Chains A and B, each alone.
Chain A
Amino acid sequence: MTRHLPLSHLPLALLVVLALLPLGLSDPYLLNALIQTGIFTIGAMSLNLLLGYTGQLSLGHIAFFGIGAYASALTALGFDVELLFGWRVVHEPWPPLAGFVLAVLIAGATGYLVGRLSFRVRGAYFVIVTISFAEVVRLVALNWVELTQGPLALTGIPAMRLGLPGLGEMIFRTKVQNYYLVLAVAALSYLVVARFTRSRFGRAMRGLKENEALALSVGVNATRTLTIAATASAAMAGAAGSLYAHYFRIVDPDVFLFSTTVTMVIMVVSGGKGTLIGPVVGGLIFGLLPVALRPVLAPEAQWIVYGAVLILILFLMPRGIVPKLEALAARRPRAAAAQKPVEAESRP
């Protein structure tokens, strides 16, 4: 469809700009902000898979992120805990890459369980189950001191290492290295969401969101479809959590803060839920806005402006930035075509 042409290049253009950015940017503070933004943007993309494409709001999404962070950190650090009846579990440290894979698998498995348990009844029920789940996981992380060090945090988490055949081992120690690692995982996540939502599973998800009774009548299994979406979404959040753990090298129970979920919801809703690039646009804006405001405003004023920007975006573009841009882009060529009938877009 020709009328989406200007916007269809946005993801690639954004990727090129982001890939070139470190060449002209050496400020470690800004790089740090970009990496952090990138990690939470991956979280926002994973949330979008559920919220944007199935309409189910997970307000405990940070739980999957945090589980990924802890799973990855503990895999790489090793642990020695005593369970019930004196049964002792000892785990020797594994390479961080194994941590990443396990983070994805374990977060995905918890997403599956939460989905299985809560999707029999949907809507508000799912919201409450996810909030409670996140709170329970946070309390476990805080109180199971033997495993998680509780409020003392897991420290000394090794940097991500990637063994490349023939090239030796790559260690992601510097900010620039981590920047490209996060960018690569984000690009991959984008691709996964794109493929997922364009497949027949994605169509079943959209059908449920748009007209549930009709979707059921054409044979969509609601529980199964939503559970698949929750599993994929949680697994992707777990990947983001793993990146977080191996970049900051420290994980504490505050990783489960409710406000982080809210930030991800803001990223998705402001950018445009149910669009591929929306969470990225929203993620960049609300990830970098605090950084941009910090040098010019007092701390209290920063959050007021943050809130004002959010309200303004949602007031002017209730469906989000990207859908609004799409609507504008769709209008302009048509107006141009009306003036120059020769160039009128081809219609089937």
Chain B
Amino acid sequence: MSVSDTAPILCVDHVMVRFGGLTAIADLHFDVRPGEILSLIGPNGAGKTTAFNVITGFLKPTQGEVRFKGVPLGGLQPHSITRLGLARTFQRTSVFPDDTVLDNVLIGLHREGGGRLFDAVFNLKRERAAERAAHENARAILDLVGLSGRAQEKAGALSYGEQRLVGVALALATRPSMLLLDEPVSGMNASETQVFVDLLRTIRARGVTILLVEHDMPMVMEVSDRIVVLNYGRLIAEGPPDAIRADPAVIEAYLGKGAAAAVAQAAMQEAAHA
């Protein structure tokens, strides 16, 4: 990651997204540097999830483009973008509910082992070796996210927080060089969140760049190297956590949003005390 600190791994280049007459993102422009943890924050409806969907190919931008490792992502299908090394998690449905946790990760690993259909149908030695390797990899990933004990449980039966971890395990199974996490700690309690923060640092230490969308301000302030603030589909601030915390534009954006903002403000004050 120290090789090219200047060249961004992800470049969101003046992206605009419009649904009919509604502008979800007006003009979004930011870079993510290799190896950093960058957070994308903003009040509800600021366009964070839309930005995620554009970056990962689930939505096409009306204008502008996204480049990953210099490759323009316009026109690429979501699965092709994943195969370039850009993986994501989802805000809500983050698991395959009817499969076990282990099988979930194995679905994520479906491209590994290289076993071909012919090998599978005839159960060749090569296929069995590939299957063994996939199982070992899946176990290792479950170890990493701390779900080893849950391997045989149905994913749909896990707690909300644990399903989040399955989502992260699935994303890691694609061997990403960059991970996009959409509100990963919502629904987690404080201690679960702390464990998750440690997990993020472990993942980053393995050379994975992380882009985070999150409402939990103490967590964002603690873990981020840099923060990008969105409001009404526009970028209103960008910088390290301390600068963002003191930025008048950011405070105004959150204060002006009524009840939701009050919660966010309290969270920010809490962060300031911490």
Contacts and interface: CB of A to CB of B under 8 A. Distances in A.
Interface stretch (B17-25, B33-41, B111-119): B111-119
A152 to B, nearest CB: 39
Contact of A200 (B87, B89, B111): B111
A201 B106 CA distance: 11
B200 interface: no
Interface in A1-17: 1
B160 interface: no
With a 10 A CB-CB cut-off, give which of A196, A204, A207, A214 has the most chain B CB atoms. Answer: A214
Contacts of A214: 90, 93-96, 167, 170
A294 interface: no
B117 A206 contact: no
B120 interface: yes
Contact of B99 (A196, A198, A201, A210): A210
Interface residues of B, number: 45
Interface string A179-204: 00000000000001001101111011
B110 A213 contact: no
Given A206-B99, A221-B79, A211 B93 contact: yes
Contacts of B177: none
Interface string B123-162: 1000100110010000000000000000110000000000
Contacts of B70: none
A219 interface: yes
B79 A210 contact: no
A311 interface: no
A228 B117 CA distance: 9
B201 interface: no
Contacts of B79: 216-217, 219-222
A228 B78 CA distance: 19
A211 B106 contact: no
A207 B106 CA distance: 10
B93 A196 contact: no
With a 10 A CB-CB cut-off, give which of A195, A199, A217, A220 has the most chain B CB atoms. Answer: A217
A203 B111 CA distance: 10
B113 to A, nearest CB: 7
With a 10 A CB-CB cut-off, give which of B89, B98, B151 has the most chain A CB atoms. Answer: B98
Q: Is the interface of A mostly helix, strand, loop or mixed?
A: helix
Nearest to A232: B117
A218 B99 CA distance: 15
A200 B174 contact: no
A4 to B, nearest CB: 12
Interface string B63-83: 000000000000001111011
Contact of B107 (A195, A207, A213, A222): A207
Interface string B158-182: 0000000001001101100000000
Interface in B191-224: none
Contacts of A198: 120
Question: Would you list the 4 A-B pairs with minimal beta carbon distance, nearest first?
Answer: A199-B120, A219-B82, A216-B78, A207-B107
Given A203-B103, A203-B110, A221-B77, 8 more contacts: A192-B121, A195-B121, A195-B123, A213-B90, A215-B96, A218-B174, A219-B79, A348-B152
Interface of B: 56, 58, 77-80, 82-83, 87-90, 93-99, 103, 106-113, 115, 117, 120-123, 127, 130-131, 134, 151-152, 167, 170-171, 173-174
18 contacts: A195-B120, A196-B120, A200-B120, A200-B130, A200-B134, A204-B107, A206-B99, A206-B103, A206-B107, A207-B96, A207-B107, A210-B98, A214-B93, A216-B58, A218-B170, A219-B111, A220-B79, A348-B152
